[in-house]
Structure 1
Amino acid sequence: MEFLEYSSTMLSSCPAAPRPLLLLLLKLFGSLPFNPKVLEPAPVPVPSSLVMLISSLNVKPNNFLAGKKSQISSTPPMRFRYAMVCSSNQNRSMEAHALLKRQGLDVASYGTGSHVKLPGPSLREPNVYDFGTPYKQMFDELRRKDPELYKRNGILQMIKRNLSVKLAPQRWQDNAGDGVFDVVMTFEEKVFDSVLEDLNNREQSLTKTILVMNLEVKDNHEEAAIGGRLALELCQEIEGNETWEDTIDDIVAGFEKQHRRKLVYSISFY
């Protein structure tokens, strides 16, 4: 009895290796019903360091641990982080964001206004939202207000595109927690000035350079589509170089000559 009491007490704390032997002894002494499954070795936990390694390699853990052929992504890492910026993070910046994201570039988008503004029944009656309001909420509200109007002027289609890209509009001045960017693309002179002013007012403790460019694009659906394609082409040209510092003058000159559009750029710091 002393053996059985001692064995039962130690069962839960015994190492994995002697556990089957102890269970067999308990069976022989009649203390436990025999179950062959309890003699199977305990599963070995996967170390957290291995899980992190698998995640960093973009490998499916089950296939990796089962010894199957690893499925590692062949997509090369992006050199630069891009930010597309307009006033309300609705039309121009989101058109460019969607295109760059589709092509695999590391991109985010923002607005610089105090509020998000969308066209309403008249110029004096815009729809005004706070940054961070989900696109889905805007879509549902406008469709409920006047579905014919907002379908006819393309607002519902635009917001539907936006909610497939991200959750809600974001404000550039509140993006300190999003990390640093290498290239910022704006689509209006006043937005360009707002981004530079904000960067100049930041602490700039990293001494990291950031390229801020402005491509003037009218705020309508047709021009936004053209501007988005031009922004994608320009960013792909930048992405094709090891650094933009040594090549930006040639890139800008070539872009302006080909498309007959003026580019303005400035270099700032984080």
Structure 2
Amino acid sequence: MEAHLRLSAAAAEFPVISFGTGSLVRLPGPTITQPNVYSFNTTSYNQMWEELASKDERLYRSNGILNMLDRNRNLKWGPERFQDWVPGLPRVDHVSKGDKGALGTEAGVVDVIITCEERCWDAVVDDLMNKGNNLNRPVHVFNVDIKDNHEEALLGGKAILDLANALNEAAVEQRAVHGSGGWENGTGAARQSFDERVPDILANWQEKNPNLPALWTLAWL
């Protein structure tokens, strides 16, 4: 969610959707064998915050969970699961009374997907294949490996923003040269030129961020 925050607040105003890939949302509990477990798509960040604050506010504030949930609930309504996402299906704001944030409003299509853990990258690539490429729309899938702690998340979020900016600049340049026709299905000259530039963009980014191992593949929605 740090990357979501960075991207959504960027000058380029990137439209951002964020997901998890596991079966359930798991947050640290009072012991390692007692996690707090929630369902994707049906439990809001505000509900999580209120429940944990009522259980043990001192514990969950000291370990940073309440601060994290407070940030998250101001970004979106609640956690969503990537495998439940339907590409091409537009969505509108989904705000329950008393809940902050929203699922967001977007057209249901993306040009870039970025994960922060290799197992999530594998899950996303596998799921895109399982979804059947119904839109016949190319999508670049990156993984930027980030350790799960606050300091690394801040550094990783900035690096992901740098990557997004480099990709966006290349896309803008190619559209200015070739026009935007055929961008969605990858047949236009602008989109094809952009796609060809992506490996070099990633290589340049990786040179600047050698401590953040990255993966990339071209998939289809």
Normalised by the shorter chain, which TM-score bucket?
0.7 to 0.9
Q: 2:112 aligns with which of 183, 189, 195?
A: 183
Aligned partners of 1:262, 1:220: CA distance in 2, in Å? 16
Task: Give the secondary-structure state (helix, strand or coil) at the position aligned to 1:185.
Answer: strand
Is 1:224 matched with 2:153? yes
- Mapped to 1, the partners of 2:123 and 2:134 lie a distance apart of 20
- Structure 1 stretches of 5 or more lacking a match? 1-93
Aligned length: 177
Match of 2:27 in 1: 118
- Separation of aligned partners in 2, 1:247 and 1:156: 41
TM-score, normalisation: structure 2: 0.77
Aligned twin of 1:100 = 7
2:214 is aligned to 263
Q: Cα offset for 1:137? A: 0.5
Of 78, 89, 100, the residue aligned with 1:168 is: 78
> Any idea what the Cα deviations from partners look like across 1:173-205, whole Å, max 9, x if unmatched?
111035221100000010000000000001212
Deviating 4+ runs (over 2 angstroms): none
1:199 aligns with 2:109: no
Residue 247 of structure 1, aligned match among 172, 191, 197: 197
**Structure 1 Cα separation of the partners of residues 78 and 27 of structure 2:** 14
Q: Secondary structure at the match of 1:112?
A: coil
Q: Distance in 1 between matches of 2:62 and 2:215?
A: 34
Q: Which amino acid aligns with 2:18?
A: S
RMSD: 1.1
CA distance in 1, matches of 2:60, 2:163: 32
Name the counterpart of 2:51: 141
2:74 partner letter:
S
Question: Equivalent residue of 2:218, what SS?
Answer: strand
List aligned pairs for 1:127-138, cutoff 5 A.
Answer: 127-132=36-41, 133-138=43-48
User: What are the ranges of 5 or more consecutive residues in structure 2 without an aligned counterpart?
Assistant: 91-107, 172-190
| Residue identity (%) | 41
Question: Which letter does structure 1 place at the counterpart of 2:8?
Answer: K
